[in-house]
Every structure is written in structure tokens, then in C-alpha cells.
Structure 1
Amino acid sequence: MLRRSPHRTVCACGKSDIPHKPNNPASGSMRIVFLSTSVGPLGSGIGGGVELTLRTLAHGLSLRGHHVTVVAPRGSVIDRADADGPRLIEVDGEMHVPSQTLARSAELVVPRNSVLVNMWQVVVQLVSSEHHDIVLNFAYDAHPFVHARECTVPTAHLVSMGSLSDEMDRAVLSAVRTSPRSVAMHSKAQANTFGAEIGTATTIVSGGVNLDAYEFVAQPTDDLALVARISREKGIVDGFEVAERSGRRLRVFGVMEDEAVWNEAKALHPRAQVEHVGFLSTNELQSALGRCAALIMVHRWVEAFGNVAVEALACGVPVITYARGGPAEIVRDGVTGFVVPPDRPDEVAAAVAKIGSIDRGRCRAEALERFSAPAFAHRVEDWLRGQLA
């Protein structure tokens, strides 16, 4: 029997403790257990883009007839769906320190009463007691890689960030050598940060969002948008410089992770008009983002994908991005925005001056053609099926 403590079972539709029957994956549907990020509850914004990715796939795969159970930290939320929607199991425990805040050579920190260790124990028990077919890991941590053999079914890993940790690199390398099809990433640029062997063995699934949730806005204000956690790697200082150079207000949407870097940016660029809006729900974000003239992406690290670029395009908002990581694979230079050299906020400001040349209708169409949630779910479905063949 599945223990009810320290976690509880909740369906996204509000129903609890849904019974499951054994399933034959050859019949078409799969029973999939999602292991969530361990840095914060789903819906908090602490996990960044991986939260949107997980929710998109949970609903997308459910709509394709699969049975999805999400194991996530206590306090997590998943958007309501019908009775066949994803089931949520909340687990107690201490959150992990985000890997991007640690030195590359540092060991990944495992706190006492780790929420990740607790979630993994729940996953192993679920697989054994409820006859699931496969585990899909979203946690950027070595633990699910190292302990994958504890599961009686395959564990697939959708890696959410580029190479940041020597320990994580070793875990990913071991996984691709043991189970070559078990690792997927969002972009070629992301995969290449892990080196040639991992990059070659990795499946690229790109990304996608529920485009029905984003409204097209034809006539924007002059405001610029930056959607990111307030942290150094997200390029907040460069964002302030773009605002100062362009003379436009910059609206920043995201969790305040590092107030010191925010204050540093203000001191360096005192004439910049910058407003910190904070973290918003998807509906609130799309409404505010859609009214902006452009989204700027001035990240100092390799973004794995860049969900927010797709969200912006879905609203008709052009994207100006550094030629670094996944966003540069999303934006079509001169068509849906501009791709400029990395670490050149002056080039971003110059691109802002010509943003009126971009057709916002073309931006929306591009999002529909390339980055829909159903297309994303289909790609991930094919990847998961390949591990059950």
C-alpha cells in the first residue's frame, strides 16, 4: 500500500487517491511518474522554466491518453483539469539549493530530510505498487541519475539546464553510457555544454507551451520586458543598461532571488527606468507581457531553451536575445526579433530602436507553427516510447 505520510495524493481535478489498474504500454497509453524539481514547489516560480515545462507536459501527455502522476514538493499546484488529468502527490522535506548558485567543483548539497530523497522514495514505491511504465525526472540533481537502478522500470531524464556542476556532468555521462536513450535536453546548445559524448547521445525535444493561454496583442506600449529570476546569471545588470541606453521603461517579471545584484544594477545605471513586477501566474504574465514592445533576453549563462521566448512570441511580442543558448535557436533574426552578440547590451539597445520593423502577427504564427504544447508532448512521447521498445 502507498503510505499517506509524509505525502498526500491529490488529483489536479480535486479528487483524491485515484485507484489505478495495471496497464499494458503496448496498448497505446503509458503510466508515467514525473519527479519534480527539488528547489521549490510547483507554482512558486523558484524553479524557473522547468515548472512550466513540467506542467505543460503533464497536461499534454494526459490529453494524449497517458496516465500521469506528478510527485512534487509540498505546496505544489497543478492547473485544474478533467478527471483524466494529472494526479499530484505532495511530499514533505527540505528544499535543495539551486545548482546555479554553487561553484562548479562543489558537491551538490543534500540537506537533512531532503525533499528530493523523500520524493524519490515515493517514486520507487509508486512504481512497485501501481504498475507504472516509466519515470520522467525533471530534477537537476545527481540523485535520480545515481539511484535510477532502484526503479523496476526505466528512468528518463529531461535535463533543464546546461552544464553547471562537475558532479552533475558525471551523473549525466554515466546515464548516457548505461542507457543511451535515457537523457533528453531542450536544445543543441544546451547539450553541447556537457561535451561531445553527452551531446551526441542526447535526444533533443525542444519545448512548447499551451498557446491557447496567450492572447495576441497587436498594439503594444513602449515598455520592454525581462522575464527572469533576479540573479546575476540572468543578466539583470545588462537589462538595466539596455533600459538606460534605450530610454524605455523595463518591466522585470520574476522572483527576487538576489537583491544585492538588483541594487548593484541600480547603482551602475541610475537613469534606467526599471520596475520589478515580481512573479506572476501564467494568465497574469501573458496579459502584462503582451503589452510590451519587446522581450529582452540578456542571460550570462547558456539558457537550455527559453520558454519565455515562446510565451512572448505567442503574444506577438518580438524577442531580442543574446546569441547564447536555446533562445538563439528559437528567434529568427530579423523575422521574430533579433539575435545579437553575447554580453553586448549596446547591441540590444540598438535592436530595440528597430523593433517596429518586426511583424507581431508573424511572431504569433511562428509560435503556433513550431512550439505548441501538443507538438512538444508528441516529441516527448516518442522519446519515452523508445525506451520501452
Structure 2
Amino acid sequence: MRDTLKIAIVASSRYPIAQPFAGGLEAHVWHLTRALTLAGHEVTLFAGAGSDLPVDSDRLRGELFEPSAAARSDVSMPQLEALQDHHAYLSLMLSFTRNPGDYDVIHNHSLHYLPVAMGPAVQTPMVTTLHTPPTPWLESALTLAPGTRCVAVSRHTARSWSHVLGDIPVVHNGVQLERWPTGPGGDDLVWFGRFVPEKGAHLAIEAAQRAGRRLRLAGPISDTRYFEQQIAPSLGGLVHYEGHLHQHDLARLVGSCGTTLVSPVWDEPYGLVVAESLACGTPVACFARGGIPEIVGDDAGVLVPPGDVDALALAAEQALTIDRRLVRRRAEEHCSDTAMIGRYTDIYADLVAGRPVTGAESPALEVPV
């Protein structure tokens, strides 16, 4: 394989890859694209308008499809945003089929079915990172394109797709450790992420109140109704909302707190907030769901049964006693972007050489729960 590759990265058409991030997937693509560029590769990003990466980029929705009045009036007319997503990815994949020499590798991070469904028609080697458990449209596409080369962000996610794909490699998401420096810690608790029901910020509030500690919240209000009904009434007193912070400010907040509460009510495919917290030296108190136990390990936090708020409150206190140096070491050994880039580089080499995708850890390994 050549030292320098031309890599096309396909991301979301709806959300810009820019700070402050809409979610963990956008943050991951932002960091991955920068890391690959710093490693000397020529990277082109296909993403939503407003992405701020210092690489060549194309707006997936730069030419929005506007259906005619006749098409709009048809009973089959879907939501306009869904139709524009379809048009954007269809246009992109057709361009890949028509220009096979433009890139050495295509790395798909979108959650849309079209890049997978049309992948077999593209001559350029392509790999898809699965960031979620099975969704109906994506599962349909992968069922019809069984030769699609995929990796998963956790062993949990790999297992959730095994009924369609069998065993697939795992590449854990990595964080740029220098952007998440070790902080001094403190007595406060912190919760950060998107304010949507499945992230469970309301349960973190309950746990903090039962522990009698101040909780500092940060992240985008992605579900206004959820925030107004289940978060806003608790603000004031021990619960503070710090806003939707840029990465530097978020890292400083997390590093200044004693424990991060991670309280999802669904099985997190990975749990980027856990890796980011560990990088800051801040231990975590978590519901043991999805891929989270793979990141936490034995000595960087306390895992409790899903939904058990009393146990989470006790875990928050217990986590405060963990040596922050051990927490940072866990991040350095298991959550670094250097390890992630090394694994993806091996995968790109396999793709270019026409070999089966390898270079990633096995999904069969067991993890503490």
C-alpha cells in the first residue's frame, strides 16, 4: 500500500461535522478526519453544510432536491428532509460509480441505507463502520449486500449484527488525548451528551439528588419537549445546565468534576462520552449497557445494573475515590485515536490489496460486566 491514500469519508447529510457537535457520531468523524489528515492522507469529507474540517469537503446537501408540484401532490410524497437525504446519497454513490479512480478507499460512516445498498456497484474499495444496532432500512440493505465489508465500534455492536453479517472486526472509537487533558477533579458530578430520552439525563439528575451532590449538565438540546418536561423543572439548586459547549470548554468542565454519570436507557453501541471522560482522568459511574463495559474495564469506573438509580448514586460516590491517574492510563491504553488510526490503516491496506478485512480486534473476546 502507498504511504499516502486518497480517502473519501461519507458522513451525515443532515448535521455538519463542526463544533459544537450534534452528537457522538459527528464528533468521531471530526476527529477521525483530522487524524487521518495529520497522518499524511488526502481526505475528502462528504457531510452536511457547515462542516469546518481543514480538508477537501463536499456538502452532501449542497444541491438540495426540490420535487415538482406534481411530485409533492402525490400521495407517496415522504417528508421533504427524508427525500433530500435520499437524493444526496443517491447522487454521491452514482458519482463514485462513474469516477472509480478518484479515491483509493471509501469509508462510510453514514446511517443511511443507500451507501450500503449501492456499494457493490462501486469499484473503489469501501468499508462501512457500524455505529448503531440494526435499523430496518440498514438491515435490509446489508441483507441484500452480504459482501459489504463492515467493522463495528464495539463487540456489543458486532454481536447485534451477527445474525446478518456473522463475525465482523471491531475498531473502538478513539479520542485525541491531547484535546482531553487530565483535569484536577472536584466534588461535583457531571453528565454530558445529547438531551434526548434514550440518553437518560433525567436518571442522572435523580442519582445526583439522592447522592446530595451538585450535577453539572452539558450538551445540545436535541429534544426540546424532553428537556422542558424532564430536565428544566430540576434546574437550580444542585442541578446546573452549562450549555452546549465547544470541545475545549467541555473538556475543562469534565476534568474539573469528580465523577461522570452515564445513564442511558438503551444499549449504547459504544459510549464516546465514557472515553472522553476517562481521558480527562474523570472516573465514570455507568449503567452497564451496550458497549460501555468494554471501555470502562476494571479500574476506571463503577458499573451498575441498568436503570438502578440508587445503585448509580452509590456508584457516583465510589467512583470519586478512584485514582485519576489509573483512569487516564485506561484511556491511553484503550481509547486513543492513535490505536484507532492504526487499526483503520491496516483495514485500508487490506481493502487496497483485495484481502479480507482484518487488522482489528476480534468481536468474540469477553469483557467485564
TM-score normalised by length of structure 2:
0.84
Greater shift after overlay, 271-280 or 295-304?
271-280
Shift of 1:226: 1.1
1:373 and 1:270 map into 2 onto residues whose CA distance is 35
Q: How far has the Cα of 1:242 moved from its partner?
A: 1.0
Q: For the residues of structure 2 that align with 1:183 and 1:39, how far apart are their CA atoms? A: 23
Are 2:158 and 1:194 aligned?
no
Cα distance per residue 1:218-240 (max 9 Å; x no partner): 3x232211111111100122112
Deviation at residue 111 of structure 1 after TM alignment: 3.0
Q: In structure 2, what is the equivalent of residue 75 of structure 1?
A: 50
In structure 2, do the counterparts of structure 1 residues 372 and 266 end up closer, same or farther at CA, with 3 Å as the change threshold?
closer
Cα gap change, 1:270/1:46 in structure 2, threshold over 3 Å: closer, same or farther? closer
Cα displacement string for residues 290-313 of structure 1 (whole angstroms, at most 9, x for unaligned residues)? 101111111111111112111111
The residue aligned with 1:142 is 113
| Residue of 300, 307, 313 corresponding to 2:265 | 300
Equivalent residue for 1:330?
Answer: 295
Task: Check the 8 A contact 1:133/1:154 in 2, yes or no.
Answer: yes
CA contact (8 A) 1:48 1:229 kept: yes
**Is 1:171 aligned to residue 141 of structure 2?**
yes
In structure 2, the residue matched to 1:371 is: 335
Q: Return closer, same or farther for 1:341/1:268 CA change in 2, 3 Å cut-off.
A: farther
Residue 320 of structure 2 aligns to a residue whose secondary structure is helix
Number of matched residues?
A: 339
2:11 pairs with 1:36: yes
1:104 is aligned to: none
- From 114, 119, 129, the counterpart of 2:84: 114
* Residue 185 in structure 1 maps to residue 185 in structure 2: no
Q: Kindly report the root-mean-square deviation, in angstroms, between the aligned alpha carbons of the 2 structures.
A: 2.5
8 Å contact kept, 2:284–2:316: no
- The amino acid of 1:111's aligned partner reads E
Query: Alpha-carbon deviation of 1:332?
Result: 2.2
Deviation of the 1:123 alpha carbon? 5.6
Shift of 1:365: 1.4
Residue deviations 1:57-92, cap 9 Å, x none? 2122223332111111111112x4xxxxx3222342
Deviations 1:159-215 (A, max 9, x none): 22222x22222223334x223xx11111011122234343x3322001111111122
Show the counterpart of 1:321.
286
Q: Contact conserved, 1:320 with 1:351, CA < 8 A, in 2? A: yes
Contact 2:13–2:59 under 8 Å retained in 1: no
8 Å Cα contact 1:332/1:338 also seen in 2? no
Kindly indicate whether residue 58 of structure 2 is the aligned counterpart of residue 89 of structure 1.
Answer: yes
In the superposition, the TM-score normalised over structure 1's length comes to 0.80
Q: Where does the alignment leave 5 or more consecutive residues of structure 1 unmatched?
A: 1-25, 81-85, 96-107
What is the distance in 1 between the residues matched to 2:21 and 2:87? 19
Deviation at 1:142, TM superposition (A): 0.8
The partner residue of 2:214 within 249, 265, 273 is: 249
Unaligned 5+ runs, structure 2: 66-77, 354-369
Deviation at 1:378, TM superposition (A): 0.9
